[in-house]
Structures are given as structure tokens and as C-alpha cells.
Structure 1
Amino acid sequence: MGLIDGVFETVFGAGRNAIAETAEVFRINADSADARAAEAQAAALAQFAREFGQPSRSPFDRVIDGLNRLPRPALALGTVGLMVAAMVDPVWFATRMQGLSLVPEPLWWLLGAIVSFYFGARHQAKGQEFQRALAATLAQAPVVAQNIAALRVSPATSAPAEPVATAPNAALADWRAQS
């Protein structure tokens, strides 16, 4: 027994497992890899929460946000209004368009740049707001996973399901007949 104990002590002694350590040279330890992945995800979620978390908004911020929402509907409704005006009073519409043809080209470029920057900045702000909301949702994932695990462990409160009636299995019937 002393020789066998000595071999086991050499291979598995002092909290070691030489076989597992050797196998990990060729194949990663799945438990350790999962733990590292969970740590990386938790760190990423914490970083998202710090980056995209925002304090509650003041009334001034809400008013400015409301004002920022006006140009897009105003441009859309203005364009529809111009189409209606062209149909209702074509002469009035034609004189206004003639006036617009006198606007110098650099002013059109400036107007285009202002509108592009406005909508580009709004697009970026809304994208960041979406990322904040996404980070907040992802931060809830561990809580949801724990709740689901708790629900799976708790006893079922509903009545057991009725067994499903299946068609007879001819092969199984033949096997039973032979036995």
C-alpha cells in the first residue's frame, strides 16, 4: 500500500492534479474560461454604467430637448405646406420660388451645412442615449438570470401536464412481442 499511496501522493498530492494540469496544456479549462468571460462581461457592464449613466434631467434640459424636437416636424410640415400652396395658388408659389432662385449659392451651402450639422448632432445624441438605455438593460441581465434560476428551482404551482397521446410504435410493439 505504501507504494500506491506514494504514487497517488505524487500525482494528486498537495491539492494538485497532475493529470488535469497536463491536460490544460492542450485544452483550456472550461470552468476557468467561463469565469474569465463572466469577469470580462461584468467589467464591461460596469464600464458602460459609468460611461452612460446620467443623472436625472432638470426642467431646463427637458425644455431644450422639446425645442430640439421642433425643427424636424417643422421642416416636414413646411414641405407639405409648400406642396399644398403650389396646388392652391400656383402664381403665389411661383413668385416665392423665383425669389428663392435669387439666393446666392454660398448661402445655400451654409444652410445645408447648418441643417446637416444639426441633424448629425441630434443623430449622435440619440445614439448615445440609446447606448445608455442598452447599458442599463444589460446591467439587469444578471438579476433576470437569477430570477429565472430561482423560478426553475421553486416548486411548480400549476397542475401537472396531461400526458401526450402518441400513435402506437410498430417497432416497439414487435420488440415487446418477441420478448
Structure 2
Amino acid sequence: MGLIEQVFSLVFGSGRNVVRDTVEVFRPNAEAQAQRDHARHDASLTQFAAEFYAPQRSWFDRFMDALNRVPRPALALGTLGLFIAAMLDPDWFSARMLGLALVPEPLWWLLGAIVSFYFGARHQTKGQEFQRELVEHLARSTPRRAPTPEPVQPTEEPEPDGNAALEDWLRQLR
């Protein structure tokens, strides 16, 4: 009986399981693998939640966003409407185009400037919002590193020993 107890205490004793430790070299522990999978899945869901988080906005902000979405579709649909109007009633269309031909050239320049500034400012604003969100996301997701220390200036000049690279490096430090 004493021999069997010694064999079992050798294999399973002192809190170690030699058989389990040996098997885990060839096959991962299923419970530990499930915990790692769960942690990875939880981290990906947390990342998705952070990416798609939309703060609550007031009704005025939502209304202004909706109003800002109107000009481009209105211009596209209006242009298509002009083509349809030209096909349905050419006389009506030509009268309207004659009216547009009578608009003075400075007014066309003014209209072009207004439209260009509107779309240019909108493009710039959206680009800056995207960059700001990207920087905030990267700041949240990257770990903070300790600042690199300043290079230590030598207090005393070493004597030249004929090493050209070392002498050049010392000249750069001064």
C-alpha cells in the first residue's frame, strides 16, 4: 500500500498533476481556451460598441443635420427634373432657360462661390470630424507609454582616442 501511495503522490501530489501538465503540451486546456475565447469575443464586442456609439443629440441638432442633407439630393433631383421638363414641355423649358440666360455674369460667379463654399466647408468639416474621431479612438485603444528620457549630456569631455565615429558623435551632442 505504501508503494502505491508514493507513486500517486509522485504523479498527483503536491498540487501538481504531471499527467495533465504533460497532456497540455500537446493539447490546450479546453477550459482555459474557452476563457481566452470569451475574453477575445468580449473585447471585440466592446470595440464595436465604442465604434458605433452615437451620443444623444437635441432635436435642433437632428433637425439641422437633416436640413444639411437636403441640398445635394435637391440639386441632383432638380437637374433630373429639368431634363424631364425639357422633354414634357419644351416651350415652358425654353422660356425658363431664356430667363437664366438673362442673369448677369457676376450673379453666376456669386452663386458658384456660395455653392463651392457650402460644399467645400461641409467636406472640410466632415473630414475634420473623422480625423478627430480617429485620433480619439487611437488614443483610447493604444496603451500609454512612459516618456523617453532626455539624453544625458556628458559632464566631462572624454579624451579623443582616434575613433572617428565617436568623435563625430560627440561633436553632434555639443
SS in 1 for 2:39: helix
- Tell me the distance in 1 between the aligned counterparts of 2:99 and 2:36: 67
Task: Answer 1 or 2: higher relative contact order, Cα 8 Å, separation at least 6.
Answer: 1
- Tell me the distance in 2 between the aligned counterparts of 1:4 and 1:42: 46
- Tell me the distance in 1 between the aligned counterparts of 2:28 and 2:96: 74
What residue is the counterpart of 1:20 in the other structure? 20
- Tell me the distance in 2 between the aligned counterparts of 1:36 and 1:94: 69
One-letter identity of the residue aligned with 1:81: G
Which 5+ residue runs of structure 1 have no aligned equivalent?
Answer: 129-179
Q: Equivalent residues in 2 for 1:78-157 (5 A)?
A: 78-87=78-87, 88-89=89-90, 91-92=94-95, 111=116, 114=119, 118=123, 121=126
Equivalent residues of 1:11, 1:17 under 8 A apart: yes
- Tell me the distance in 1 between the aligned counterparts of 2:100 and 2:4: 101
Richer in helix (by share):
1
One-letter identity of the residue aligned with 1:26: F
Using the TM superposition, give the Cα deviation of residue 52 of structure 1 relative to its aligned residue in structure 2, in angstroms: 3.6
One-letter identity of the residue aligned with 1:59: W
- Tell me the distance in 1 between the aligned counterparts of 2:51 and 2:94: 56
What residue is the counterpart of 1:46 in the other structure? 46
Cα deviations by residue, 1:4-49 (Å, 9 ceiling, x for unpaired): 1111111112332211211111222222112111012212323433
What residue is the counterpart of 1:31 in the other structure? 31
Matched, 1:58 2:58: yes
What number of residue pairs does the alignment pair up?
120
Note closer, same or farther for the CA distance 1:94–1:57 as it changes in structure 2 (3 Å cut): closer
Cα deviations by residue, 1:120-179 (Å, 9 ceiling, x for unpaired): x49x98xx9xxxxxxxxxxxxxxxxxxxxxxxxxxxxxxxxxxxxxxxxxxxxxxxxxxx
Which 5+ residue runs of structure 2 have no aligned equivalent?
Answer: 134-174
One-letter identity of the residue aligned with 1:78: G
What residue is the counterpart of 1:69 in the other structure? 69
- Tell me the distance in 1 between the aligned counterparts of 2:14 and 2:39: 28
Equivalent residues of 1:86, 1:93 under 8 A apart: no
Return the TM-score normalized by structure 1.
0.49
User: Structure 1 stretches (4+) deviating beyond 6 angstroms?
Assistant: 96-99
Structure of larger gyration radius: 2
- Tell me the distance in 2 between the aligned counterparts of 1:67 and 1:57: 15
One-letter identity of the residue aligned with 1:31: E
Using the TM superposition, give the Cα deviation of residue 82 of structure 1 relative to its aligned residue in structure 2, in angstroms: 1.1
What residue is the counterpart of 2:9 in the other structure? 9
- Tell me the distance in 2 between the aligned counterparts of 1:64 and 1:9: 76
